[in-house]
Amino acid sequence: FGFRAWLDQMYGSNTMTLRPITSRDVEGNRYLSWKTEDQPEFTPSFATARADVEHSWRIIEARGLARRRAEEITSQAAAKGQPLAAIVQDLATGTGLQATEVGPFSWIAQDAVAGGQPRMSDPEGVSMAGEEFMRAVFSLEPGGTAVAFNEPQTVCYAIRMVSQEPAPE
């Protein structure tokens, strides 16, 4: 629904506090918002906003470094002919890197709670996958690699397609 409808739901007369509202922008980003209290508009001081701004700036700046690191991992795996897990194991000491086998999963799942409505699947082991992740995974052939962020761009994944078919068992 449009921005005007969101404004009316959040700030219109007789709106309830702590009532969650979900929305999506034109780029497909999803948002969860709720009204906590009514207060007059104000502009926070720089001192008040500095910590939050600096934290957000660090996350944004780190995205390029994370993508380059994931690309290095996929390149090393291809050059050495090794699985991603072997490369990550060599690099993992003190880095926070970990290798996880995920799947099988599909791009779209059926939501049993919402009357069978289709929704993006939520693969176990992947935090908030999102369109970029799904597009990267499902564009690969077995043995192929890719790099993709999750939806909020807080985790960058080095991906290797093992198989497009689930194991018979």
pLDDT in tens, 123-167: 999 999 999 999 999 999 988 999 999 999 999 999 999 888 766
Mean pLDDT value across residues 115-127: 83
Looking at residue 93, what is its pLDDT? 66
Q: What is the structure's pLDDT at 153?
A: 93
Average pLDDT over the chain reads: 85
Nearest 10 degrees: Cα torsion 53, 150, 7, 114: -150
Span between the terminal Cα atoms of the chain, in Å:
44
- The model's pTM: 0.70
Q: Assess whether pLDDT exceeds 60 at residue 1.
A: no
Mean pLDDT confidence for 109-126: 77
Other C-beta atoms lying within 10 Å of the C-beta of residue 45: 8
Q: Which residues contact 165 (CB under 8 A, 6 or more apart)?
A: 104
Give the per-residue pLDDT at 126.
93
Can you read off the two tokens belonging to residue 36? Answer: 């906590």
